Amino acid sequence: MLECVAQECPVLLRKSIEELFPGTVLDLTSSDLTIITISQKANRKSLKWRTDSEMEKLAKYFVLGAVDICLKLKMDGFWADFINPFSGQPYFTPRKDNNLYKTDERFRCLGFKIEQKKNCRVIACENSLRTFVDCISISLSLILGSLYTTAPPNTKFLKELIIND
């Protein structure tokens, strides 16, 4: 079961969002900016036995759902985009250099941090040395990704999206 949470983008993260999506018509000082986090509810057993192919399938579902949500928001006149989990690049906005999935302290305000451990990037819970997998078994949800939009969190479409999930 997918769960969506819409929240106003923290002020400290706004400049980073602007850097992730260059060339957009965002005026982040005056416009609304909302982050929609999409996660999947799961039970403890299914999280322990999840294979790489199952994780890839979930990422594909995230991309399909995120494209659908972004297109609906765009039809309502809002800007919307997300980071493709397969490339770390914005999906709709042309981008060739940096990507989101680098070690980056700016994303701590979303409740997780990205750390470099040898040749891997590890998503970890905020204020904890536990890895994201440990966090998952506590919260029983797996974060699939986030969308970014100029639609305010109280927009009718976003409210319906969250209620219907």
- Summarize pLDDT for 108-118 with one digit per residue, the tens: 555 555 555 55
Sheet with 34-41, strands from edge to edge, namely: 2-8, 34-41, 141-149, 80-82
User: Over the chain, what is the mean pLDDT?
Assistant: 70
The whole-angstrom separation of Cα 109 and Cα 159 is: 22
**For residue range 93-144, what is the model confidence (pLDDT) as tens digits?**
876 565 554 545 555 555 555 555 555 545 554 544 433 343 333 344 566 7
List beta partners, residue 4: 38
